[in-house]
Structure 1
Amino acid sequence: MPRGNKTPLIQKIAKQACVTFKELRSSANFSDKQQELLSLVTAVRAADLRISSRPSSGAAGQQQSPPVTYMHICETDQFSMGVFLLRSGASIPLHDHPDMNGMLKVLYGKVRVRCFDKLEANATNNLVIPEFNPPLTPLQTDNLWRSVLRSVAEYTENSGPCLLTPLRDNLHQIDAVGGPAAFLDILAPPYNPDDGRDCHYYSILKTVAEKQTSNKGKSSEEHGEEKEENKEIWLLEIPQPEDFGCGGEPYPGPLVSI
């Protein structure tokens, strides 16, 4: 059941987010304020937002709904906050958060998060580009990025938040594992294309040599990714995948005033 506090937990989170992300330019204060926010976000559960776990499948019309939906809670110039709901097997493709901080806290279910970082501003400057299969066009080469896979981790409602910064774990892919899942999402500052904070999508490329090696070994993808952590990987910036869509639905939880 939702907690009986006079001030709902999600309201406390929103107020602390306002305080925290106003301190972004003051590193000394930001660290302390972020820890206070992290403590509040760690405690949040689905019941606090009046959200219940969705069935894995079967309900009429459910399969026609988007695989991913978003519940908007609030937004200011400093941050945005909402809930993403993923159907069983759904995925939010690999994407970035330019110059943004973020927290992801699972409310129910389990998600696997793969985090990447770009290694430099321009991937093709003074670098020898390997041979890919299929080969890239000149236009694609201009959208090529050298990166590193930082981590592959799974999160449940009992896990702490997954954190991202402008320089660390900034690109990630999120997959629902073993059933439907939902997570609270806080981004600071919010996406804003006019300020250079637009969302970009990426696909993972394999070089000809990597494909030849992978064809010889039959290890699972997850095991392979664990072995590949901190290894350089090439990413290609792509349009939003055609098979990915994000719908919207009303947020049923306590109103947030900011």
Structure 2
Amino acid sequence: MGIETSLVGQKGKEFCEFPKETTNPRLKKNRRRQRKQTMIQTVFETCKEVFSNGRTGFVPRPEDVERLRSVLDRLKPSDVGLSPDMRYFRAEETERTPVITYLHLHECEKFSMGIFCLPPSGVLPLHNHPGMTVFSKLLFGAMHMKSYDWAIEKPCSSVSISGALQIEGKVAQLAKLQVDADFTAPCDTSILYPAAGGNMHCFTALTACAIVDVLGPPYSEPDGRHCTYYLEYPFDSFSVDGIAVPEDEKESYSWLQEREKPEDLAVVGAIYSGPKIVEV
């Protein structure tokens, strides 16, 4: 999920300072790291290894995917200094869409790490992850996830929207539903790939929840990895020559159309205050 750079200007990149070594500094440093290694540090170091060859379209080896998934599966709210009673997760009586808070953990050209903090009813709208492999770990709470991949096996899978639904220069493209389900922590880390696994997804908070997002590589407009948002329409909304699916499969297909960033989407940056990540 991409957010504006200005929202995360304060990234909280603070590093732990250790006492000066007097004898055998390398051995003492290694022992100290082994003794004080935090779970979020383990996540960071695993990401460095898994995404060491990260680039647009890069997919880690299956064994590396499982290794990172296993580490994220063990991550708990306390490992990143979060709890449901924090201000990020409070529901406010307002007519506007709940404000979502993003805690920046790390970003480099290979991967990024962050946490989305959603109050009840908070929504990260349908968006894509071009050329990325994404790991999403629900730390606590419950959410609904809906995700799609492009239905590339279907011929002629795009059509101009006409009438009242027309948006100039935009087309609706056929997509196949991959996930449409509720998730409650603790649950397995979800993974999406550049062309599979639900590359376009949206999250809706059923309760206050926190989601750790690991993207490899991260969003980058200069490299063509721009976050795009979508509207979705039922398959039966349009009749297109050459496109047909069995009646019992129609609910598995939708037309997705690019849209501008939703005006009611409010994502603000905040300083991460949990255990620090040491970039060694």
For normalisation by structure 2, the TM-score amounts to 0.73
> Amino acid of the residue matched to residue 226 of structure 2?
D
1:98 shift after superposition:
0.2
2:83 to 41, 44, 52: 52
Counterparts of 2:101 and 2:43, CA distance in 1: 22
1:71 maps onto 2:112 in alignment = no
> Amino acid of the residue matched to residue 199 of structure 2?
N
> Amino acid of the residue matched to residue 243 of structure 1?
D
Contact 2:97 2:122 in 1 (8 A): no
> Amino acid of the residue matched to residue 89 of structure 1?
S
Contact 2:151 2:174 in 1 (8 A): yes
Contact 1:68 1:86 in 2 (8 A): yes
Counterparts of 2:59 and 2:118, CA distance in 1: 37
> Amino acid of the residue matched to residue 201 of structure 2?
H
Counterparts of 2:158 and 2:217, CA distance in 1: 35
Q: Which runs of 5+ in 2 are unaligned?
A: 1-33, 239-247
1:235 maps onto 2:265 in alignment = no
**Could you say what secondary structure the match of 1:19 adopts?**
helix
What is aligned with 1:140? 170
What is aligned with 1:186? 214
> Amino acid of the residue matched to residue 192 of structure 1?
S
Equivalent pairs, count: 232
**Could you say what secondary structure the match of 2:145 adopts?**
strand
**Could you say what secondary structure the match of 1:51 adopts?**
coil
Larger radius of gyration: 2
Counterparts of 2:213 and 2:158, CA distance in 1: 38
240 and 137 in structure 1: CA distance in 2 versus 1, 3 angstrom threshold:
closer
What is aligned with 1:39? 70
10 and 65 in structure 1: CA distance in 2 versus 1, 3 angstrom threshold:
farther
Q: Which runs of 5+ in 1 are unaligned?
A: 212-226
Counterparts of 2:92 and 2:35, CA distance in 1: 35
Counterparts of 2:95 and 2:156, CA distance in 1: 48
The C-alpha deviation readout for 1:58-78, integer Å capped at 9, x for no partner, is: 679x99996211000111211
> Amino acid of the residue matched to residue 35 of structure 1?
E
Alignment of structure 1 residues 101-250 onto 2, 5 Å: 101-120=133-152, 126=156, 129=159, 134-141=164-171, 144-168=172-196, 169-177=198-206, 179-206=207-234, 209-210=236-237, 231-250=252-271
What is aligned with 2:125? 93
**Could you say what secondary structure the match of 2:169 adopts?**
helix
1:234 shift after superposition:
0.5
What is aligned with 1:214? none
Counterparts of 2:75 and 2:120, CA distance in 1: 22
Q: Percent identity, please.
A: 26
1:131 shift after superposition:
7.1
1:193 shift after superposition:
0.3
1:10 maps onto 2:40 in alignment = yes
1:84 maps onto 2:113 in alignment = no
Alignment of structure 1 residues 16-27 onto 2, 5 Å: 16-23=46-53
230 and 77 in structure 1: CA distance in 2 versus 1, 3 angstrom threshold:
farther
**Could you say what secondary structure the match of 2:170 adopts?**
helix
> Amino acid of the residue matched to residue 233 of structure 1?
S
Aligned-CA RMSD value: 3.2
149 and 58 in structure 1: CA distance in 2 versus 1, 3 angstrom threshold:
closer
